[in-house]
A and B are shown apart, each in its own frame.
Chain A
Amino acid sequence: MNLPYQIDPGYIGLGFVLLFLLLILTFTAILRDKGRRSLGEAGLRKIPAFKKLWRTMNYSVESGKRLHLTLGRAGIGGEHSTSSLVGLSILKSVAQFVSMGDKSPITTSGEGTLMILSQDTTRSAYSSSGVAEKFDQADGQLSGLTPFSYASGTLPIIYDQQTSGTIMVGHFGSEAALIADASENTDCMTLAGSDDLSAQAILVATANEPLIGEELYAAGAYMQIGLTHTASVRAQDVIRWILVIVILVGAALKLTGVF
């Protein structure tokens, strides 16, 4: 069937983004109006990895051990940048929480801009907690620029710093296995998520708390960073159902020969 007129794909994309934005704003308003702050009240399913992360953060404060966050090797100017942004959100939440403890979290990354942003995020989290003097430039490190140099630069931090847990959130490739394996060898909690499919498959086997698919992007809601994060997870659910219906209707129309 030929359509009577052609719609510019750019406008369809823009419409899709605007619909997404509208849904996020609507859900933010609803959640704020009803004062729903806990995950259960917001209708989100439980993800055990985040529960363990909270437990590890508490343990880190009590035991005086450092938490290690590694943010991958994507910067903030490419197609994988959103996974790095999720990592920075988690870093902020973690740094604010553990700022009451003796040891600051240590962050490694495999890209220059990400290293600068990790330092800035830790510093600002400390400032907001009133302990700005605890910040050290070495809390955010560039561990390597190629995939394997990044992994091999990260391993000594896991082994030498006796960390209480490793949080791997960002863009990784197969080198993620080396980092996750090192963390497992030191009996640490390893929470790991990547936007890369092969890395996700590897992390299922190597990390004890892997994040699959969109779970990585839901981190903000589970770390209780803000209502917008919870609202965006709800918006994703609605959009997912819309797309599922569109795909099924499209398949049915194709099957019946309409298209």
Chain B
Amino acid sequence: MVKRTLLIAVTITTGLVILMGYFINLPALVSVRKIFLNWAIILAAVALLIGLINLIVVHARKIINKEPGSHYSLVLLVSLMVTAVVGIVSGPTSKMSQWIFNNIQIPIETSLMALLAVVLISAAIRFTYRRPTSFSLIFIFTTLIIMLGTVSNPWLNVSWLSELRLWITRVPVVGGARGILFGVVLGTIATGLRVLMGADRPYED
């Protein structure tokens, strides 16, 4: 009980100091805020290391237990070890490290991005028959206008289409996006205040 109270007190005090540091321009408050934020950065780096250990443990366990897809886990662990050894021995900006980054990581991530385009088209089609409402029709219709208005068409020069696309992206889209952002911002403040009040505790004893 004492431990929990202490944890809540430390969290609320730290949160209040950082919050006040943003609003009130007191040099002492601002420097304390900077110290706390530097601590947070160091802790996040340590957490990253713990996360990597977790990744190794989870996949090593998968291989030992011969779970489905354990050969992928083996590929992951070998790749992780090779990259780590290269990075530690020759440095993260060395030619070897850059080669791994440019010839393995970037092509894989780019191909996943290409896959994303296919996934989105299939999702849009599924969306229309899963929820055949006026809303889904507007969604698909707008998507088509934006796509047709963006691509260059050598056979058909329809200037009104690109003007319509411009109007959609400048007027209803901006209006809607601002409305959604309005809700997101209010939700963000409310969540932050709940943490400051100790009502939301992502930490436990």
Residues of A that sit less than 8 Å from B by CB = 8, 10-11, 13-14, 17, 20-21, 24, 75-77, 82-83, 85-86, 88-89, 111-113, 115-117, 120-121, 123-124, 137-138, 140-143, 145-146, 148-149, 151-152, 156, 160, 174-175, 177-178, 180-181, 184, 195, 197, 200, 202, 204-206, 208, 212-218, 220, 226, 228-229, 232-233, 235-236, 239-240, 243
A88 to B112 Cα, complex, angstroms: 28
Q: Min CB distance, B133 to chain A, in Å?
A: 12
Distance to closest chain B CB from A48 (angstroms): 12
Q: Shortest beta-carbon distance, A145 to chain B, in Å?
A: 8
Are B186 and A202 in touch, CB under 8 angstroms? no
Contacts of A206 in B (CB 8 A): 119-120, 123, 127
Q: Is B193 an interface residue (CB 8 A)?
A: yes
Q: Is the CB of A177 within 8 A of B191?
A: no
Q: Quick check: B58 and A141 within 8 Å, CB to CB?
A: yes
> Do A213 and B120 touch (CB < 8 A)?
no
Which B residues form the contact surface with A (CB < 8 A)?
19-20, 22-25, 37, 40-41, 43-44, 46-52, 54-55, 57-58, 61, 67-69, 72, 105, 108-109, 112-113, 115-116, 119-120, 122-124, 126-127, 130, 139, 177, 179-184, 186-197, 199-200, 202-205
Structural contact, A85 and B195, CB atoms closer than 8 A: yes
User: What is the bound-complex CA distance between A76 and B37, given in angstroms?
Assistant: 12
| Of the residues B58, B119, B130, B184, contact of A195 by C-beta under 8 Å | B184
Instruction: Label chain A's interface by main secondary structure.
Output: helix
Q: Which residue from chain A places its CB closest to the CB of B47 in the assembled complex?
A: A112
Minimal beta-carbon separation of B49 from chain A (angstroms): 7
Please give, as numbers and ranges, the residues of chain A lying within 8 Å of B47 by CB-CB distance.
75, 111-113, 115-116
Q: Are A204 and B139 neighbours in the complex by a CB distance under 8 Å? A: yes
- Which A residues touch B127, using CB under 8 A? 204-206
Contacts of B205 in A (CB 8 A): 124
Whether A17 touches B193, Cβ cut-off 8 Å, given contacts A148-B109, A156-B72, is yes
* Cβ-defined contact, B197 with A113, below 8 A: no
Residue in A77, A115, A148, A205 whose beta carbon sits within 8 Å of that of B54 in the complex: A115
Q: Does B193 lie within 8 Å of A20, measured CB to CB? A: yes
Q: In the complex, are the beta carbons of A240 and B186 less than 8 A apart? A: yes
